[in-house]
Each structure stands twice: as C-alpha cells, then as structure tokens.
Amino acid sequence: MTPARCFLAAALLLSAPFAATAGDEPSSPVSWEVGAVSDYLFRGVSQTDEKATLQGTLTWTSASGLYVGSFASGVDFGEGSPDVEVDYFVGYGFDASDSVNLDVMLNRYTYPGASELAYNELITTATIAENWAVSVGYTNDVWGSGTDGWYYGLSHDWALPRDVTLSANVGRSVFDDANVAEDYTDWGVAISRSFGPAAVSLGYYGTDGTARDSFGKVADNRLLLSVKFAR
C-alpha cells in the first residue's frame, strides 16, 4: 500500500469511535495499538495481495465489561477500491467462573469505496484458563454476498523461557453457498515476545487445498512478521 493509503488508514482509524478489549480493567479505559505487518491475513487468506501494510486499533472499555471500538488496516483486492478496511465493534465480556471468560461481540466490516462488501458478524469467544480460546462466528451476509457463513476457531498459548510465547490456532470456515466459497480450514503457529511497549511476532500460517482452489495464491502458506506498539 502506498504511503498516502497508509496515512488514510490511520486517519480513518483516528476519526472512528474508541474501542475496547474485554478482560481485566486497564488503568485507563482508553488504549491503542498501532503496528506494521508483512501481510494482513484474515482466517488464513491475504487481504493485501501478499503485501505489507499498517494497522491500528483504538479501544475504550467500561468497568462492567462493555466495550466499543474500531480497527483499520490497508487492503488490496485488486484494481480499484477498496484500499482500506475499517471495522466497528461492540461487545461485552465477563468472567463466567474463576477460569472461564466469555465474550460476545458484534463486528461491522466496512470498506470505504466499496460499500457493497460490508457485512456484520457475531463472534462469541470462551477463554479457558487464560491460555485456551474457543470462538464461533456467524454472519448472514458473508462478504456482502447474502450467504450465511460460520467460523469455528481454537487457539492455545504456551509460555516459554525468556518471556517468549508460542501460539497455535486452527479454524474452519463454513459457507451455505459453495458458489461463494468452499468450506476450508486455516491454521497457524507463531512465536512472540514483548520488548517494552513493542511486541514482535513471527508466524507460519496456512490453509488447506480447498482454500487455495477458492482464493488462489492469496491462500498459500506463508511467514508473517508483525511489529506492534500498544498502550
């Protein structure tokens, strides 16, 4: 993405409503994260035609667990618009027990200049013993196609020496209409470490052959490097 497009993504994000992540109450209700990624992957598929881009999130959360927010990233789906994705979300997170946190979020995916692609998704996540996460996403209009879509995800983190974290995830995308896309599986393995306010992650991500048949090279297996700063 060009520098001008990167600046536009940041400007759109900063003009959007503040967002939040559920969980432990932070010292301030407002937080942010900005960074660069070597590729923007969404469920194993590149959203930037295998190019690097900038991303950012602004967050606000209440003591009750209610949160609202916005995320922005560059995208590249080919010639013409869109060049930017701007998401808006609202949700609620709470501790169901000492070891289980539940989170329900409604996310609105929007693409300035390509409003026909916008759609909503309801995502429910259960975090168990802080290291396991199980999520289910549902939309009745995936990618603005009018088709129902489901996503089932499972992830786990392992704490390693020297403050290194090993993460692994697997997910399954299911579509009611095979003309929109075939059902496929994505997965990933990554290591990450924080250096003060910066977090660096290097991962290897991939999909099955069905995804590559549906989406082509943007669903190929790949390394992904990210550097993010957060407060």
Q: Can you give the pLDDT at residue 115?
A: 95
Q: How far apart (Å, rounded) are the C-alpha atoms in residues 62 and 50?
A: 37
The tens digit of pLDDT for each residue in 3-29 reads: 444 444 444 444 444 333 444 444 689
The tens digit of pLDDT for each residue in 107-117 reads: 999 999 999 99
* CB-CB contact of 145 with 177 (8 Å): yes
Could you tell me which residues come within 8 angstroms of residue 122 by beta carbon, excluding any fewer than 6 positions away? 104, 105, 106, 107, 137, 138, 139
* CB-CB contact of 119 with 141 (8 Å): yes
Q: What is the pLDDT along the chain (231 residues), one digit of tens a residue?
A: 444 444 444 444 444 443 334 444 446 899 999 999 999 999 999 999 999 999 999 999 999 999 999 999 999 999 888 999 999 999 999 999 999 999 999 999 999 999 999 999 999 999 999 999 999 999 999 999 999 999 999 999 999 999 999 999 999 999 999 999 999 999 999 999 999 999 999 999 999 999 999 999 999 999 999 999 998
pTM of the model: 0.86
CATH number of the domain enclosing 76? 2.40.160.160
Mean pLDDT of the chain: 90
Domain count across the chain: 1
Show the domain range for 202: 3-230
